Structure 1
């Protein structure tokens, strides 16, 4: 018995030894759990949305499976439009994308590892030198010519570009991340996709909204179409919804309660071609800031929509069709809906609508954005003072003149089409000028003051732009005043009808008409100024060649009819701005003592003493022309300034360079219109760009030294020393920690707006 017991114990011990020495099987790698977080941290900042390099979108498993394409989305010179390739929209699944010309980056071929594996290996074998400036041979930015090699072309690419593996020109994957991705690729790159689904609370609200937009009847169908065309870009979030859950309006062949069968048209106002239903579909994949244009929905919004569109005594007797004519003139297409309801709906969330065309796809490159100033304020006309809203006769005369170009993309017809639409617009400006001359002089009541969307600031950062609530920065050179015809035209021209996949004719017409829109907004504002000062102000906005543009394309302004404003004749625009600030109260969502310091204290009162001192120091850099602050010449457009005190608190500030121009009236030749000595800086708490160009990390107790260094830097070598001491270069070993901390800061301060930022424009300083 004892022998048997000893034998059993010995056997168990031996089994235990054998078990301990046996190899442990590696757990299966999950795309959702293990791979997507790595892509989100190290890849999505360059590989997301339309401007993803080689159209390789790594924000979701669908994008990884889709692969890459040699065809760029943004190609302004193409003579023929290309087929849209919107992820989750124009195709589904690898085979469908292969038929559209995409090639795999995950599949190994001919005993070769997958293209992604080799690109990562190239980057891992030639890492960047820590904290050093990258070699000039590595081209970065939007003007980089992406090679997009096919798997069979990789060896040639690697030979020609040995330092341009992935991630490109930046601190790469950690060893652990690299090994994880390579193991996943070697295992065949399985992708387990877990689509986002609505919570019960969200599903209930979705049901209410879908019921509203799919009601039978001509009146209901017309309102639903108008609402859909105005919300198709929105990332909808619900009252009581889950954090991080967003939805988008689509047209589906299937009704509520069934899976969405999406109808993919180029534009939201194209003919769907079949019976359809308006549906809310979850936004899938990683949220990226540049396309994250949010819109709130809930019981109050639902009640507001019903009040605006369904409470009046009006009816649509028939439904308009689809096609170029209806796309060109939404004022005619939706004439049956009361204009006051349409305008008020847009005013309620004016920031959303301005963001759709300022941050939307048209504003991706320099030629798209050089039609606007680098910093200006936006206001809106009160509906009761908008003649298009209040005067049916005037509305009937104006509507035929409000059609917009871009529907015909015949390259040979561009000039004729442009002249036709320019002349229509100028006829409208004449009509508007004469009609408003007969109205009471405009005063403060002319400006809409319904909520904190009433005052906005727009910043242009060379080849991108951003919108924020409130009046930020010093008094700008120009201001815009939107009435309903101008706001609706801008939205349709730059958001609804703009086709990023269109040809040069379509894009040129869109850009040229935007020039007329800007001029219209400026002229609307001029009506608030003293009549005898308007020509002087306009001349300041259109210096040098701009005067030729005024003569060629713009209508004469009203310089006779008086204003109802009482303003200082010496500087009426600044006096107006200061009085606007005094009167705005809570409407101004962005009090700004840093840039508009009027006394001894140039900081916000609601921050700690440490950060009051920080802001007091930073204020010395603002509202000074580059002629007296030479470091401005060295700065990129949008720099993030991360400042941390000794207690772990940090605040992120945006340091924005506002370039001065003689005018912004031409499509090309922007550099010849710069006035560099008049450039200024705006410094404001928060991340005011989707595309940081650079970043400084400065301890709070070193801010005074940082400001002094900026004040004394007269040339590039002096600025280089600032970069070396406080700059976060692409090669910084902690680059990704600092870069994603910007998103974390948005998450903490304004969580609905948080999304991964884009680093395609991060400069090699």
Structure 2
């Protein structure tokens, strides 16, 4: 029997009609989390060309590091898509470690970030683009900023809170109306000059069309590709020795931004442990620390950094043929072997000296000295964005120098090394609050035993006392031998050379101190860690500082040591000295000639500075005539006449103290200064160094300040990742600017100076001038250039 086709076609038509109705109905159903937002088929802007530069110049200055408000990190397309979180990375009262939230590591998709509590700022998580611009938290933040502009170059009202001390509000779309009502000036860019009409329109159109992003392009040249392959082969060699060396190198380079300095236009890379071999896409292991157990087979890989570079985290390291040859000679040239590779347990993480004992100790020390500035940067500047856990244990200005590897005891004396290695373990592995006290007692006791052994060994080794040749002179060419460290409250900076006035204190670091500091503050430190972990880290760094200072005192006449030490540890620190630190060696003499400096601490320090310059003069670099020129008549022939004039005008500021130049007490820690003429501009940093009675305690720093002893270091170029303020002065007006600073006594008078020459957050050219400071670094030291962070920019 033949079926009629007409009823069949009718059924098909009815089905199609029903399906069409369902499609139309479903198109009105809100999209739920993990669905893709609707995207306009016509895109007015390309993200990398048109949108990223705008975010780079207006937004990333606050949203570039771990302490970015609400974890909204905008330096990469992945960060933009990940969005924000109401959980803060920096929480001093956290009792347990929090799960890490590292972009590119701890989640691989937007869906995974949503499961970890991050919410979109581009689109309503429930409705995609259906709600239009009002469904975009980013747009509503920008629009709030446009509705409530601030007066040009005005001071911020008191109700606008800035800095890292206040708590961030992290509204969602559901709570945004309440946020906007309570914070009319809470729009973006926050507490700064807003977007231009064109910039706002561009971002609005991009959001309305779906906020399409794309990753930063990465197109390595043939030479770069060959270098990647060669270095990945080097790190993944077979053999027990090669495995151990590769692990040691990885644990020392995992925070580095690696580049190939002999290849023009080299990209930057990070060295990671990946579950995939060379030639395949990198899939990084998700371990919290680089020395945590991998729990699976892995390969060392170089992953390109497809993000905007931020000065704070941009700590560079170059790899080239010379470096590879040096490592081959250092680590694999000697005849050493090991029976079994060390594991990744508690003891191996806590004591790297025991873990890597098979690698010749001298090779390890020389490896670190080769790039000493890099290693000091990692723990002084470091990728930890709010570093007061570490920085409040150091003074605002000091020099760091190193023991010569030809004489350093640990790397040259096997018996001494075997006695001291068990005492060099580090706390912080256990994060429970109950572990804090026991860990402190255990590791501080071991450290003091080590320091006593060290005093005894060095005293017996040279009964005539320390000699100048025990200090590393950079082998006559390496300028990393002399470093200056500046602390800026909760961040810090490092510069090659001896800068500023002769400081109150100097660190002398041997291999055990350099390696322990690196492992305690970089390898074993967990920014997502608990209160207990962070407190253990800080308390042990206090011992490291004390040990570095005691190392320095070996080079000071025995009769002068107590007086210097008492100057560093005044007040309640004397009680802590009696309880927590080991006794000074006040008997072994020094072989250095100090002349007639008896009873004068400042004269002792100046004399040592002269001796140090004699020892390491070949690597001391440009003399700091700007800050160390008592007669104000120093001239640098390498400077042009206009810059010589600038330095003559600025020199009196560098000679003052808080008592003789009261404005120093009012200045922020770091102020950038741009001096302009019709033809060019010059850049300087005014660094306010605060004096302390001591830095031995975790709390109560304000009670230990000595503002009358504060001083100012003036540095050519930019110093620091977080400018606290900026001044923009025409060359012709520089004498008036300096005279105004010399005359200022009060905060109100400094505000008046800012009225005339200051670049406030609300300055019409705020963003352009901030960008010009970065441009200056790109012109003078392009490898080091990165965005400055304004989260600490003050309201002068």
- Residue in structure 1 matched with residue 676 of structure 2 by the alignment: 644
Alignment pair present for 1:121 and 2:143:
yes
Q: What does 1:60-209 align with in structure 2 at a 5 Å threshold?
A: 60-108=76-124, 111=131, 112-209=134-231
Deviation for aligned residue 1:579:
2.8
Question: Matched residues in 1 for 2:155 and 2:143: separation?
Answer: 22
- Residue in structure 1 matched with residue 704 of structure 2 by the alignment: 673
Alpha-carbon contact 1:362-1:498 (below 8 Å) kept: no
Alignment pair present for 1:346 and 2:368:
yes
Alpha-carbon contact 2:236-2:300 (below 8 Å) kept: yes
Residue 453 of structure 1 aligns to a residue whose secondary structure is helix
Q: What does 1:326-405 align with in structure 2 at a 5 Å threshold?
A: 326-362=348-384, 364-405=386-427
Question: Matched residues in 2 for 1:160 and 1:521: separation?
Answer: 50
Alpha-carbon contact 1:340-1:383 (below 8 Å) kept: yes
- Residue in structure 2 matched with residue 707 of structure 1 by the alignment: 738
- Residue in structure 1 matched with residue 684 of structure 2 by the alignment: 653
Deviation for aligned residue 1:363:
6.6
Deviation digits for residues 83-129 of structure 1, max 9, x if unmatched?
A: 00011121122111111110000113563330001000000111111
Deviation for aligned residue 1:324:
1.4
Question: Matched residues in 2 for 1:60 and 1:472: separation?
Answer: 36
- Residue in structure 2 matched with residue 559 of structure 1 by the alignment: 586
Alpha-carbon contact 2:632-2:648 (below 8 Å) kept: no
Deviation digits for residues 161-194 of structure 1, max 9, x if unmatched?
A: 0111000000111111111111111111111224
Residue 163 of structure 2 aligns to a residue whose secondary structure is coil
- Residue in structure 2 matched with residue 58 of structure 1 by the alignment: 74
Alignment pair present for 1:36 and 2:52:
yes
- Residue in structure 2 matched with residue 459 of structure 1 by the alignment: 486
Residue 406 of structure 2 aligns to a residue whose secondary structure is helix
Residue 549 of structure 1 aligns to a residue whose secondary structure is helix
- Residue 414 (structure 1) aligned to one of 436, 439, 452: 436
Alpha-carbon contact 2:135-2:173 (below 8 Å) kept: no
Question: Matched residues in 2 for 1:683 and 1:304: separation?
Answer: 37
Alpha-carbon contact 1:65-1:93 (below 8 Å) kept: no
Alpha-carbon contact 1:198-1:282 (below 8 Å) kept: no
Q: What does 1:737-756 align with in structure 2 at a 5 Å threshold?
A: 737-756=768-787
Residue 411 of structure 1 aligns to a residue whose secondary structure is coil
Unmatched segments (≥5 aa) in structure 2: 1-40, 598-602
Alignment pair present for 1:529 and 2:551:
no
Q: 1:286–1:142: structure 2 CA closer, same or farther, 3 Å change rule?
A: same
Residue 756 of structure 1 aligns to a residue whose secondary structure is coil
Question: Matched residues in 1 for 2:782 and 2:761: separation?
Answer: 26
Question: Matched residues in 2 for 1:745 and 1:538: separation?
Answer: 41
Deviates more, 1:618-627 or 1:518-527: 618-627
Q: 1:251–1:346: structure 2 CA closer, same or farther, 3 Å change rule?
A: same
- Residue in structure 1 matched with residue 716 of structure 2 by the alignment: 685
- Residue in structure 2 matched with residue 629 of structure 1 by the alignment: 661
Residue 655 of structure 2 aligns to a residue whose secondary structure is coil
Question: Matched residues in 2 for 1:614 and 1:334: separation?
Answer: 51
- Residue in structure 2 matched with residue 278 of structure 1 by the alignment: 300
Q: TM-score, normalised by structure 1?
A: 0.95
Consecutive aligned runs of 4 or more in structure 1 exceeding 4 Å deviation:
none
Question: Matched residues in 1 for 2:410 and 2:142: separation?
Answer: 58
- Residue in structure 2 matched with residue 697 of structure 1 by the alignment: 728
Alpha-carbon contact 2:410-2:417 (below 8 Å) kept: yes
**Aligned-pair Cα RMSD in Å:** 1.4
Deviation for aligned residue 1:239:
2.7
How many residue pairs were aligned?
740
Question: Matched residues in 1 for 2:634 and 2:136: separation?
Answer: 56
Deviation for aligned residue 1:600:
4.8
Residue 697 of structure 1 aligns to a residue whose secondary structure is strand
Alpha-carbon contact 2:674-2:683 (below 8 Å) kept: yes
Alignment pair present for 1:259 and 2:281:
yes
- Residue in structure 2 matched with residue 609 of structure 1 by the alignment: 641
Alignment pair present for 1:268 and 2:299:
no
Residue 762 of structure 2 aligns to a residue whose secondary structure is coil
Alpha-carbon contact 1:362-1:494 (below 8 Å) kept: no
